[in-house]
Structure 1
Amino acid sequence: MNIKSITICFVIVLYGLIGCTPMDYYYKDLVELGDRIYVGKLNNIRAYVGYERLKLEWDHPSDPSITKVVVYWNDRSDSVVYLMDKTEDVGAVLIEGLSEEQYVFNAITYDEKGNRSLPTEITARAYGEMFQQTLRNRVIESTSVSSGSVTINWYEEFSETMLHTELRYTDINGNIQEISIPKDSEQTVINDIDMDIPISYRSVFIPEPLALDQFYTEFDQYEIP
């Protein structure tokens, strides 16, 4: 049998197999997918990070059939359910007790018949002691005294996560005062301070702009020369 005859036989067998195959074999999965009813998904979801916790917030989708939102993480081994409140424009879930790591969350909406939406994915990190241990107080460069006032000179601050520094001092009437010093301010002048009592200060940080919690260093004391 020559090559041409072999080719003809192969083509005949191939057409025979195709003829015996049900017509819907090749698009069966597509038909099942097309018959599935999907409800509206979450489109604008955002994460607010915190100390071993996160809050996920979203705008309610326009689909009125949605009755709940389920948020999954850890490969869907953990989840939390939000029951739809149609009187509110925004929904949210607070997830606590998280270890300090990055998570992938999938939010899926459901209607009362169990039909679901396509997942909306968001990645967010929970913070904790590892981040806390990286924080350092702002550093005083020098102080000077003149006419009953104290000028504190600060080293320039380069930390992107620092918000400000809280400074506490005792005034000349014996009252404790607290002032907030922006991180871009390099000089602080205090006029009513009792110079015999040390000042104390600590710095305040947030790990990301959308943060639930602030992180604080321990108070340092400083004696005015």
Structure 2
Amino acid sequence: MMKISRIFSNLCFLAIVMLMACQKQDHGYKEFLEGGEKIYVAKADSLRGFPGKNRIELQWLLLSDPTIASANIYWNNRADSMKVDLVKTDKIDTVSVIIPNLEEGGYDFEVISKDKKGNSSISKTVYAYAYGENYRRSLLPRSISNTTLTAQNELKFTWRKANEQVLSTEIKYLNAEDQERVVVLPQTETELLLPDWKIGSTIQYASWYKPDTLAIDSFLSTAKDLVLTMKFDGDNAVSPSAFKRLKLPGDAPDATMNGNAFENLWSGVLAGGAAAKAWYRTETGSGMPQHFQIDLGKKVSLSKLRLWQRGSMTEYKLIYANGNIQNFEIWGSNDPAADGSFSGWTKLRSCEVVKPSNTPVGEYTDADVEEAANGHLFEFPSSTPAYRYVRVKVLNTWAGTDYMFASEFRFWEWKSKLSE
């Protein structure tokens, strides 16, 4: 009996202990629920950072949580922050935020979403880099492999392969009319032609870079000046094989005689009559001044020309006399006016056939004959632009005739090599 009583007492004690424990647990649960259940807002989804010039763009998605109202962005260990108001639609929304005025360097960004009640999301972090002046100063223009002048005096660049960060290269130069021009070389191209470059003028070039495939800004490298030294060679005969007449309104008419042909002016024949192709004559009464044009077949930067008088080899009584040219002008054009006017023509120089002895017309010395046989030389500066068409404007002849004749015109051109 006493044994049963002892068991009962133990059971009662155990029940009291368990009841007290349950009361304590209930008290802790109530404390946990005090203030309501904890609510989390949807976090920034697919958070990305895009580098820029002293700025960074953050981008993320708003998925299905309609309660999102704003986002707080922190960086520099939460020393800097920005609040962004958000409006959620019934679709997946993309949020783009620019963080401006950043010093050059890397940044860890923390994004926390908020609803209107102040509930927060779990934070999301992303790393991004802001580029700046230090990066820009490290950039070099795309390298040039070679520079040459074409036969038409056009400047040709060959460029080395660009690295992947180069977008394009800008080239600034002066054209023949002293006007500044800018051309752009794409990253994928390796050759560039400047057809109107002013010979001897400085060329400046710089390259655009994109530091990262995700970058939102590009950077222009420090520009480099290219000064090309020209070494000119003017002793290059222009082949007459492509020469032909450019006939325009207002030209002096041809004399009507057997064998007289304009093409005789570059036949290479210096002795004999017109039938032998030794000279060309304009019509009596055609008047002074008068002019005619030669198509050289290509653009030529004239370095010199030689004029042979009619009779310079055998008919000495004609040299420095009769209808041989005494004073004339040389003009150049690449776009001559169709009406025969001087519009589109540039005067290259005035020329005078000088008689060494300076004796009266009709008289001559051995020195006069030798000079005529060699051809009268007229030179042009190396800066002479390249022209395809040459106009000879005859001002007067030795005897003051109203017509002219000549045996031969020969031309030479400037050719040059470039070096930095």
Match of 1:51 in 2: 53
* In structure 1, distance between residues paired with 2:33 and 2:155: 79
Match of 1:36 in 2: 38
Match of 2:227 in 1: 223
* In structure 2, distance between residues paired with 1:220 and 1:134: 13
Match of 1:123 in 2: 127
Q: Conserved in 2, the CA contact under 8 Å of 1:152 and 1:188?
A: yes
* In structure 2, distance between residues paired with 1:135 and 1:92: 29
Match of 2:190 in 1: 186
Match of 2:110 in 1: 106
Match for residue 167 of structure 1 among 141, 156, 171: 171
Q: CA deviation at 1:80?
A: 0.4
Aligned residue for 1:126, secondary structure, equals strand
**Aligned partner of 1:77: which letter?**
A
Q: Conserved in 2, the CA contact under 8 Å of 1:41 and 1:61?
A: no
**Aligned partner of 1:210: which letter?**
L
Q: Deviations over 1:90-124 (max 9, x none)?
A: 32222122222211111111001111111121110
Match of 2:312 in 1: none
Q: CA deviation at 1:27?
A: 10
Distance 1:20 1:101, change over 3 A: farther
Q: CA deviation at 1:181?
A: 1.5
Match for residue 156 of structure 2 among 137, 142, 151: 151
**Aligned partner of 2:78: which letter?**
R
Match for residue 76 of structure 2 among 74, 78, 81: 74
Match of 1:85 in 2: 87
Distance 1:130 1:31, change over 3 A: farther
Q: Deviations over 1:129-150 (max 9, x none)?
A: 3322321122222211111321
Aligned residue for 2:83, secondary structure, equals strand
Q: Which one scores higher on RCO, CA 8 angstroms, separation ≥ 6? A: 1
Match of 1:9 in 2: none
* In structure 1, distance between residues paired with 2:33 and 2:195: 79
Question: 2:100 aligned with 1:96, yes or no?
Answer: yes
Aligned residue for 2:131, secondary structure, equals coil
* In structure 2, distance between residues paired with 1:41 and 1:174: 61
Q: Deviations over 1:160-218 (max 9, x none)?
A: 32222111122334432222213343221222322332221001112112223221122
Distance 1:223 1:68, change over 3 A: same
Q: CA deviation at 1:31?
A: 8.2
Aligned residue for 2:118, secondary structure, equals coil
Aligned residue for 1:50, secondary structure, equals strand
Name the TM-score, length of structure 2 as normaliser: 0.44
* In structure 2, distance between residues paired with 1:45 and 1:155: 39
* In structure 2, distance between residues paired with 1:189 and 1:94: 41
Q: Conserved in 2, the CA contact under 8 Å of 1:54 and 1:96?
A: yes
Within 5 A, what are the aligned runs for 1:129-148? Answer: 129-146=133-150, 147-148=152-153
Aligned residue for 1:98, secondary structure, equals coil
Aligned residue for 2:176, secondary structure, equals coil
* In structure 1, distance between residues paired with 2:62 and 2:183: 41
In the alignment of these two chains, the number of paired residues is 205
* In structure 2, distance between residues paired with 1:20 and 1:103: 52
**Aligned partner of 1:104: which letter?**
D
* In structure 2, distance between residues paired with 1:100 and 1:181: 29
* In structure 1, distance between residues paired with 2:145 and 2:45: 49
* In structure 2, distance between residues paired with 1:190 and 1:62: 58
**Aligned partner of 1:58: which letter?**
W
Match of 2:181 in 1: 177
**Aligned partner of 2:62: which letter?**
H
* In structure 2, distance between residues paired with 1:155 and 1:93: 39
Aligned residue for 2:134, secondary structure, equals helix
Q: Conserved in 1, the CA contact under 8 Å of 2:68 and 2:88?
A: no
* In structure 2, distance between residues paired with 1:175 and 1:63: 61
Aligned residue for 1:196, secondary structure, equals coil
Name the TM-score, length of structure 1 as normaliser: 0.77
Of 45-54 and 88-97, more deviation after overlay is shown by 88-97
